[in-house]
Structure 1
Amino acid sequence: MPRAGSVNYLFGTKFYKMAYVESGNPAAPAVLCVHGLTRNGRDFDALAEALSDRFHVICPDLPGRGNSDWLPESMAYQPPTYVVALAHLLAQLNKPVAWVGTSLGGICGMMVAAAQNTPITRLVLNDVGPHIPAVALKHIRDYMSTAPDRFVSLKALEAHLRLVHATFGPLSDAQWAHMARFSARQVLDQTGNGAFAMHYDPKIIEPLLVSVPIDVDMWPLWDMIKLPRLVIRGAQSDLLTEPVYTRMLENGAEGYVVEDAGHAPALMDYESMARIKAFLLAGL
């Protein structure tokens, strides 16, 4: 079973808690797994189990998600804030780490990997790159802004996840149920009865609502990253397009395509987990 932990980080004039779960021997080489925009660290339970015989695997809940503290200001929910929190976690670990980042987690990974004296040794980017099309951001904004506030049951929340995250790939019933369990927080509905809501601060969407989405260009950041990189792409992804993926490989990254997924592969299938583990082991 994953072990729960947390780190305090200073943001503005207050310290906040960022929760994480960890697996494996703390003396082993470290792997930090960072999730996507609306997700949490328990998405990596299967991958952490696959890696934990050789690695110390740490999976944080980014601020405003899972068991981490919510932030008071909606506009704080942006990558520089997450990098501040993650930097505190890296300082607490105080050792080199490999980084596995899905979508937003990959953006944060690129920012940390490009920094001078970075502790990152290897970088795995799951369906994200240095160019993000506006159409993909609009799609994320639309499904988040139209999501129900409450679900009458955990099964109803799971049905929602199966719909909006169908592009994660063909997950088993047990995997969907696991995702639903850790995607839910218990709340009360308008009549005071028990209900469920998504396990994140609803304000995390607000930075996407303040302006019309535009293409995001981070190629200068990508060019600053000099360490080994593995780029995973969902074959039907609208966020990591094929031309961007090809250019990343031409720049020296290794690549792996998940044929039956879009944005973003769940990384719960044997083949994806084996490819990631082989890449990380090559650095030992």
Structure 2
Amino acid sequence: MMREGAVRWLSPIGFFTMRWWEWGPADGAPVICVHGLTRSGRDFDTLAQALADAGRRVICPDLPGRGASDWLPDPMLYQPPTYITALSHLLARIDGPVDWVGTSLGGICGMALAATPGQPIRRLVLNDIGAFVPREAMARIRDYMGHEPVFPDLTTLEAHLREVHAPFGPLTDAQWRHLAETSARRADHGVALHYDPGISAPILSQEAQALDMTALWSAVRLPVLVIRGAHSDILLPDTAAEMAARPNVRLAEVPQAGHAPALMDPAQIALVAGFLGE
């Protein structure tokens, strides 16, 4: 059964609350699952339930400005160092070894933490994110940010998600409806996506350019599973292959998916569960 949790974390402008969704036994070996740029911890409900059934304690935070977590009054704080700070408070609360599943932005945070001396991550899953993101992909992200429509009802919001997140891969009607229900917040005259529109401010404040995390990646020495959507423009084949050349890295490609596989399909869940179970 899903439970709720929260931690107070210190930002440069004060304390805020980051909330999370928790599954499985409280004494189970912990797994932290961190979502992508405009998503929330509820994206991992299916994966979390499966891991919890195997005895794991699974914690799925809503990053600052997303889901049930506090919005930040300064939108320029919506950048990876802020998220890493908040997540570090969560790691301190757990105070022990953890496994990490990170989709896109959640994987960037995981890489940064895994590259830090004394870090507690045991095994790392990077879901469609790697050491290098090309400028063209960053430009695409920039182009769709800053447009936060209000939808008349949940059905219309779901249709929007089916279009913009088609690269998640084939999902059932029930899965799309679940994503819609957990992505919605009440707004004037309808429903909106469950994040602070201000999260786009840092992205829109500058021209799109490639994101090179090679130096960060070079410091990650723990076991890593890299999952790539076969049609992804974020994690290119050459980047994934270069990452997988290291002995501590395993690469898996998900057909019929782009950025980023939803990790709802039984085969994808088995892939993650098998790696974390080693």
Q: TM-score range by the shorter chain?
A: over 0.9
Aligned to 1:185: 185
Question: Which one-letter code corresponds to 2:144 in the other structure?
Answer: Y
Matched residue SS, 2:126: strand
Question: Which one-letter code corresponds to 1:73 in the other structure?
Answer: D
1:157-168 matches, cutoff 5 A: 157-168=157-168
Aligned to 2:234: 239
Question: Which one-letter code corresponds to 1:135 in the other structure?
Answer: E
Q: TM-score, normalised by structure 1?
A: 0.96
1:85 aligns with 2:86: yes
Deviations 1:29-77 (A, max 9, x none): 1100000000000000000011002211000000000000000111100
Aligned residue pair count: 276
Runs of 4+ more than 6 Å apart: none
| C-alpha contact 1:234 1:258 (8 A) present in aligned 2 | yes
Segment of structure 1 superposing worse, 29-38 or 247-256:
247-256
| C-alpha contact 2:157 2:191 (8 A) present in aligned 1 | yes
Aligned to 1:192: none
Matched residue SS, 2:263: coil
Aligned to 2:122: 121
1:8 aligns with 2:8: yes
Question: Which one-letter code corresponds to 2:70 in the other structure?
Answer: D
1:219 aligns with 2:220: no
Aligned to 2:276: 280
Matched residue SS, 1:16: strand
| C-alpha contact 2:227 2:253 (8 A) present in aligned 1 | yes
| C-alpha contact 2:22 2:60 (8 A) present in aligned 1 | yes
Q: Take 1:242 and 1:33, find their aligned partners in 2: how far apart are those partners?
A: 24
| C-alpha contact 1:23 1:49 (8 A) present in aligned 2 | yes
Question: Which one-letter code corresponds to 2:171 in the other structure?
Answer: L
Deviations 1:206-236 (A, max 9, x none): 1111111111111111110110000000000
Matched residue SS, 2:253: strand
| C-alpha contact 1:33 1:41 (8 A) present in aligned 2 | yes
Q: Give the drift of 1:146.
A: 3.7
Question: Which one-letter code corresponds to 2:258 in the other structure?
Answer: G
Q: Take 1:240 and 1:45, find their aligned partners in 2: how far apart are those partners?
A: 24
1:145-164 matches, cutoff 5 A: 145-148=146-149, 150-164=150-164
Matched residue SS, 2:187: strand
Q: Take 2:64 and 2:13, find their aligned partners in 1: how far apart are those partners?
A: 16
| C-alpha contact 2:146 2:197 (8 A) present in aligned 1 | no
Structure 1 spans left out of the alignment, 5+ residues? 190-194
| C-alpha contact 1:143 1:164 (8 A) present in aligned 2 | no
1:254 aligns with 2:250: yes
Q: Take 2:142 and 2:193, find their aligned partners in 1: how far apart are those partners?
A: 15
1:94 aligns with 2:95: yes
Which of 189, 192, 196 is 2:191 aligned to?
A: 196
Deviations 1:71-112 (A, max 9, x none): 011110000000000000000011110000000000000000
Q: Give the drift of 1:13.
A: 3.9
Identity %: 54
Q: Give the drift of 1:147.
A: 4.4
Matched residue SS, 1:71: coil
Question: Which one-letter code corresponds to 1:92 in the other structure?
Answer: R
1:102-121 matches, cutoff 5 A: 102-121=103-122
Q: TM-score, normalised by structure 2?
A: 0.98
Q: Take 2:194 and 2:42, find their aligned partners in 1: how far apart are those partners?
A: 11
